[in-house]
């Protein structure tokens, strides 16, 4: 994946995830996509941070004491964790939104 393709894919994904929180009550969960990083703040303060890592063509996710590294899997058309656990970044975000804020987002 070229850097231009990577940056376009990251922007599309993070914009899509950000838009999924547009209709959510900000007291439950609020997202901010700025300077290439998406931060979702859940009620009572825990934050999910999704940040691109261009040199390795990944998106890194951090939440509380957990971290994941995602790579784009062309065959599946998904961002999957690099440890081979089959974790999809979209599924991770929707699961955390449900667990932390009780909301269903549909990216």
Poorest-pLDDT segment among 17-26, 73-82, 95-104:
73-82
Q: For the domain 3-100, what is the CATH code?
A: 3.30.920.10
Provide mean pLDDT across the span 95-104.
Answer: 96
pTM: predicted TM-score of the whole model, two decimal places: 0.91
**pLDDT tens digits for range 52-85:** 999 999 999 999 999 999 999 988 889 999 998 8
β strands within 20-65, DSSP E: 29-34, 37-42, 47-53, 58-63
Would you kindly state where each structural domain of the chain is located, as residue ranges?
3-100
Q: Which letter does DSSP use for residue 73 in this model?
A: E
Secondary structure of residue 96 in the 3-state scheme? helix
Q: Please indicate whether residue 44 or residue 29 has the higher confidence score (pLDDT).
A: 29
């Amino acid at each position: 994946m070229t850097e231009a393709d990577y940056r376009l894919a990251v922007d599309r994904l993070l914009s899509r995830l950000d838009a999924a929180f547009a209709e959510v009550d900000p007291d439950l969960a609020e997202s901010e996509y700025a300077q290439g990083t998406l931060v979702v703040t859940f009620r009572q303060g825990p934050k999910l941070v999704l940040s691109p890592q261009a040199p390795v063509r990944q998106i890194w996710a951090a939440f509380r004491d957990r971290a994941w590294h995602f790579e784009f899997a062309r065959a599946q058309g998904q961002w999957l964790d690099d440890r081979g656990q089959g974790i999809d970044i979209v599924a991770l975000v929707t699961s955390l939104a449900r667990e932390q804020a009780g909301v269903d987002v549909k990216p």
